[in-house]
Amino acid sequence: MTEQSYNFAYLDEQTKRMIRRAILKGLAIPGYQVPFASREMPTPYGWGTGGVQVSAATLTPDDTFKVIDQGADDTTNAVSIRRFFERTAGVAVTTKTSEATVIQTRHRIPEEPLTEGQILVYQVPIPEPLRFLEPRETETRKMHALEEYGLMHVKLYEDIARHGHIATSYAYPVKVEERYVMDPSPIPKFDNPKLEMAAIQLFGAGREQRIYAIPPYTGIVSLDFEDHPFEPTKADHPCGLCGAADSYLDEVITDDAGGRMFVCSDTDYCESRRAQGHRGKDAA
Amino acid sequence: MYVAVKGGERAIDAAHQWLAEERRGDTDVPEMSVAQIREQMRLAVNRVMAEGSLYDPDLAALAIKQARGDLIEAIFLIRAYRTTLPRFGASRPVDTDAMAVERRVSATFKDLPGGQILGPTFDYTHRLLDFKLAAEGEAPVAGRADTGVGHVPHVTGFLNREGLIEEQPSSDDTPPDLTREPLELPANRALRLQALTRADEGFTLGLAYSTQRGYARNHAFVGELRIGAVEVEMDIPELGFAISIGEVTLTECETVNQFKGSKTEPPQFTRGYGLVFGQTERKAISMALVDRALRWEELGEDNVGAPAQDAEFVLYHSDNIQATGFLEHIKLPHYVDFQSELELVRKLRRSAGAQDLQEAAE
Amino acid sequence: MTPLLSVHGLTKRYGAHLGCGDVSFDLFPGEVLGIVGESGSGKSTLLNCLAGHLPPDAGQVIFDTRADGQRDVLTMSEPERRMLGRTDWAFVHQHARDGLRMGVSAGGNVGERLMAVGARNYGDIRDSAIDWLGRVEISETRVDDRPTTFSGGMQQRLQIARNLVTGPRLVFMDEPTGGLDVSVQARLLDLLRGLVRDMGLSAIVVTHDLAVVRLLAHRLMVMKDGHVVEHGLTDQVLDDPQHAYTQLLVSSVLQV
């Protein structure tokens, strides 16, 4: 049931064209942050307005849409965004990763490998990987233009000197096709290797007015040192519900006596495995 | 047995219902109408129009009602609505010289053509709670007099005639549009003023105050503060001339600031400018002070590193809708990031612990 | 022999005021040129124009690049100039905190230039940093400390290490001993002299301190009101000054 008072997918066609141009430019220059005139959306800045605008410009009436937040389809913000497009675009929605043509995500990449023809839309809070080293936009844009990324490695050097390890666990910076250093949004570094995929990846930062993109099969390297290589990490347990040993896990506190269990953060993955008969040690 | 949390949808619906009930409050108390808010909370309405960048007192009043009096939330509602409106065109620049002034004061001249007009101001009220207002009374009526005010010329115009204040070159360039183009730096003055007029009042006030206390002090005098209605005119190509499409009330503040002069420029006064929807004096004066502070570079002044001189800092942090959204988003779930931080801290603590043990053994 | 740096007619004005006017000179590989004059003489303006920090109004600054031979630095693109700035060129600021990252460890400060040109082995970067700390007489145990915990002299030595780690061919120094105690100055000058000699560096040193140029510089330019008033071998200029202003300058300081 679409609300007739708004255009398909809420945004007017002019705005969608402007966003599509930014997306195409982003795909043409992988990893480059394209400025775009982000619109005020009916959801707050910081709650996925960039992702929502990219989805709005990407969706067609034939699409099947999935929204995840922290890997889950039923977290409140995911529900809110899914409903927004049900109301304004009337598109089919799903929780099945394999059935979706457009997936909007916050902080995770689905466990199930994505395929050609799918689009993964990320919500990005701070698109600038250099921001916490250099607060000025005018300076960071120059650093990207001149490929001056020494400072990024200084930060990793300092981590190792102080902690013995690179102390970045999410939003771990990557280099795209040997050119731009890019923030993959706050996904856990466990997800970084999945950034090389068959699907199109689009990143939208509404408040910061930036869109960037990774075309299918683009080379993505997580920054590291030869002698301190990048390591994707996760909790060293299988999922308590489905027994998966290869998925990213949430830690759930089960009582106030130190009891806890680990479960898949990707709810669709976990449910599919359980439907296939897999069981973890905490499953009934 | 543990079951993964479900029911986000039900929780959201229930929260919305509760919110609606809370908004109405005690039903024994009569409901407030939008018209009441528009008429009796007019300064709140003005702020919502100014920072919402939409001149519509009825919609602003509705937004305040819906937002339960949270003005930033009301501004958000107006902004989200505004962005969906079609654009028919652009008006001509409004002529504030032809303003029908309700209030006009100058701090630089005791008397001047057009006179000092106090208008409806809190300025000389004693801030004593008026308990009579708690009991509903009759509507007060102000006396009427024919002021004989005709054209009220701008104060800066007098100074300009003597060459005492910098010339403000007029330009027919189309100013950039912050709501249609991404903010890119360096921002010219038109773009900065556009950002400032919709900037958060509190943020602008704080910055302006900081300049008075010495963080880029610029010795501002209120050359003139004027409030009143101006006509909005639009060129109609089919007609070949401009017609009036309505009136808006504006607050305009022009500050006169010292300037010591440079090698090429003799000493003269410089300007700061504020123009805001509605009667919004505090905001307009603050805007003028911040505008002046941001002009340090074109005037060849020193950058003393003050926040109010830093265009990037000011422009990127002045919008309360951006700020509040990003601030409040930390309420959203961050399980995934937090989980990876947990793993990292455990790992770092393990290696630190191992080192301690090794040192103890040696 | 091709000069490493060849400067022709360099001029910089600030409105009606002349920063530096029509300055020309050649600097050959391994040579150290001192520029002296009182404050306001234009020596810092000249240095900043040479190093690309200030755009001059006229003139040429021709550098003998490794890849393409002689190139006018002023007509280079910004990426090229910045690349030069982190490889073949180095700049030692008067105030160490202008040339250091105060929030980054000593090792990170020295390692930054290596990482900027592609070094990606943590162990090697750290070894180079420790080696360079040693060369500027900073103990290995301070490698993970931030410069904020260092004395003024140590900060200045750290800045020098950070600049020299990539083996630049040309070093610009702006009052390298300014603001330091006399005893600290002497030690720093000794160290600089050794490094310049051992690495065969070319350098341009701006100072108001004749003792510094006496120790470091082969040749000397004396500036007054934006112009070079005297130019020659250091000992010749200091021991037998020709221009009246140089005579005044030399007589006003203690001989070293």
Q: For chain A, give the secondary structure using H, E and C.
A: CCCCCCECCECCHHHHHHHHHHHHHHHHCCCCCEECCCCCCCCCCCCCHHHHHHHHHHCCCCCEEEEEECCECCCHHHHHHHHHHHHHHCCEECCCHHHCCEEEEECCCCCCCCCCCCEEEEECCCCCCCCCCCCCHHHHHHHHHCCCCHHHHHHHHHHHHHHCCCCCCECCCEEECCCEEECCCCCEHHHHHHHCCCCEEEEEECCCCEEEEECCCCCEEECCECCECCCCCCCCCCCCCCCCCCCCEEEEECCCCCCEEEEECCHHHHHHHHHCCCCCCCCC
Q: How many CB atoms lie within 10 A of CB C239?
A: 11
Tokens coding A245: 């040993």
C159, C174 in Cβ contact below 8 A? no
Q: Which residues of A touch B342 (CB under 8 A)?
A: 251
pLDDT band per the 50, 70, 90 thresholds, residue B168:
confident
Q: Using CB atoms, pick whichever of A6, A77, A263 lies closest to residue B332.
A: A77
Which are the contacts of B237, defined by CB distance < 8 A and separation ≥ 6? Answer: none
Contact B264 C15 (CB under 8 A): yes
* Residues facing residue A72 across a β-bridge: A69
Structure tokens at A61: 């009436």
Enter the tokens of residue B197. Answer: 């007029």
- CA-based end-to-end distance of chain B: 47
What is the CA B351 to chain-centroid distance, rounded? 52
Angle subtended by helix axes A49-58 and A13-28, to nearest 10: 100
Domains and CATH numbers, chain A: 13-129+170-222 (3.40.50.11310), 234-278 (no CATH)
- Evaluate the omega torsion of the peptide bond into residue B186 and state whether it is cis, within 30 degrees of 0: yes
Q: Is B334's Cβ below 8 Å from some Cβ in A?
A: yes
User: Averaged over C164-184, what is the pLDDT?
Assistant: 89
Contact B263, B277 (CB under 8 A): no
C210-250 confidence digits (pLDDT tens): 888 998 999 999 999 999 999 999 999 999 999 988 988 88
User: Does residue C158 have a pLDDT over 90?
Assistant: yes
Closest CA to C94 of C172, C193, C170: C172
CA distance C224 to chain B (A): 21
Asked if C157 and C110 touch (Cβ cutoff 8 Å), the reply is: no
- Residues A126-141: pLDDT tens digits? 999 998 888 888 889 9
CB A135 within 8 A of CB C96: no
Residue B287 pLDDT grade (very low, low, confident, very high; cuts 50, 70, 90): very high
- Does residue A239 have an active-site annotation? yes
Write out chain B residues lying below 8 Å of A189, CB-based.
Answer: 340
Q: Is the CB of A70 less than 8 angstroms away from the CB of B336?
A: yes
| pLDDT tier for residue B263 given thresholds of 50, 70 and 90 | low
Min distance A139 CA to chain C CA atoms (Å)? 14
Are C116 and A148 within 8 A, CB to CB? Answer: yes
CB A34 within 8 A of CB A124: no
Model pLDDT for residues C95-117, shown as the tens digit of each residue: 998 999 998 999 999 999 999 98
Q: How confident is the model at residue C90 (pLDDT cuts 50, 70, 90)?
A: very high
**B353 at A interface, C-beta within 8 A:** no
List CB contacts (< 8 A) between B261 and chain C. none
CA nearest neighbour of B234 among B92, B352, B100, B362: B92
Q: How confident is the model at residue B357, as a pLDDT?
A: 61
Closest CA to A153 of C124, C97, B276, B348: C124
What per-residue confidence (pLDDT) applies to B327? Answer: 94
A160 at the C interface (CB within 8 A)? yes
Catalytic residue (one of A26, A50, A206, A239): A239
For residue C45, the number of C-alpha atoms closer than 13 Å in the C-beta half-sphere is: 26
Q: How confident is the model at residue A35 (pLDDT cuts 50, 70, 90)?
A: very high
At residue B262, the pLDDT reads 64
Least confident window among A183-197, B64-78, C36-50, C174-188 = C174-188
User: Residue A226: is it exposed, middle or buried by C-beta count within 10 angstroms (0-12/13-18/19+)?
Assistant: exposed
Residue B107 in tokens: 């701090």
Catalytic residue among A240, A243, A270, A280: A270
Distance CA A178, CA A197 (A): 17
Q: How confident is the model at residue C254 (pLDDT cuts 50, 70, 90)?
A: very low
Q: What is the band of B362 on the pLDDT scale with cuts at 50, 70, 90?
A: low
Nearest to B325 among A45, A107, A235 (CB): A45
Give the confidence band of A82 by pLDDT, cuts at 50, 70, 90.
Answer: very high
A127-178: pLDDT as tens digits? 999 988 888 888 899 999 988 898 899 999 999 998 888 888 899 999 999 9
Q: What percent of chain B has pLDDT over 90?
A: 53
In this predicted structure, what is the pLDDT of residue B165? 86
Tell me what pLDDT residue A1 has: 43
Nearest to C82 among A148, A154, A228 (CB): A148
Angle at CA of residue A88, ends A87 and A90, nearest 5°: 65
Q: How does pLDDT run across C130-140, given as a tens digit for each residue?
A: 999 999 999 99
B314-340 pLDDT, tens digit each: 999 999 999 999 999 998 888 888 888
Q: What is the pLDDT of residue C256?
A: 39
Is C34 within 8 Å of C212 (Cβ atoms)? yes
Decide if A240 is catalytic.
no
Those of residues 61-90 in B touching chain A at CB distance below 8 A are 76, 79-80, 82-84, 86
Residue appearing with tokens 């240095």: C47
CB contacts of C127 in chain A (<8 Å) are none
- Which residue out of A26, A50, A240, A264 is catalytically annotated? A264
Least confident of B180-189, B248-257, C179-188: C179-188
Q: What residues contact B329, with CB distance under 8 A and at least 6 apart?
A: A44, A45, A46, A47, A125
β-strand pairing of A174-176 with A180-182: antiparallel
Q: pLDDT-derived band of residue B356, with 50, 70 and 90 as boundaries?
A: low
Work out the average pLDDT over B30-39: 96
Distance from CA of A186 to the nearest CA of B (A): 7
Whether C17 sits inside 8 A of B264 (CB atoms) is no
Q: Looking at CA atoms only, how far is residue C52 from chain B in angstroms?
A: 21
Q: Show which residues on chain C lie within 8 Å of chain A, measured between beta carbons.
A: 78-79, 82, 86, 101, 104-105, 107-108, 111-113, 115-117, 120-123, 125-126, 143-144
Residue A71 contacts B, CB cutoff 8 Å: yes
The kind and range of the H/E element at B157 are: helix B155-161
Provide, as residue numbers in chain B, all residues whose Cβ is less than 8 Å from the Cβ of A188: 336-337, 339-340
Token pair recorded at residue A100: 């979706």
For residue B255, give the 3-state DSSP assignment. strand
DSSP C169: S
Taking only residues 206 to 245 of chain A, the set having a beta carbon closer than 8 angstroms to any beta carbon of chain C reads: 224-228
B-contacting residues in A 197-256 (Cβ below 8 Å): 207, 209, 233-235, 240-241, 248-252, 254
At residue A2 the predicted structure's pLDDT band, cuts being 50, 70 and 90, is very low
Q: Which of A14, A108, A169 to mutate to test the interface with B (most CBs of B within 10 A)?
A: A169
pLDDT > 80? residue B361: no
Are A144 and A227 in contact, with CB atoms under 8 Å apart? no
The chains in contact with chain B, meaning 3 or more Cβ pairs closer than 8 Å, are A, C
The whole-number average pLDDT for the span B73-93 is 90
pLDDT at B3 over 60: no
pLDDT digits (tens, 9 = 90+) for B216-236: 888 898 999 999 999 999 998
Alpha-carbon distance A184 to nearest alpha carbon in chain C (angstroms)? 21
Average of per-residue pLDDT values in chain B: 88
- Look at residue C173 and give its three-state secondary structure: strand
The reply to whether A117 belongs to the active site is no
Which region holds residue B289: left if phi is over 0, alpha if psi is between -120 and 50, else beta? alpha
Please tell me what DSSP assigns to residue B199: S
**pLDDT of C65-87, one tens digit each?**
988 899 999 999 888 888 898 88
Substitution target from C80, C104, C166 for chain A, most A beta carbons within 10 A: C104
Tokens 């701006």 belong to residue = C206
CB atoms within 10 A of CB B248: 14
Which amino acid, residue B256? V
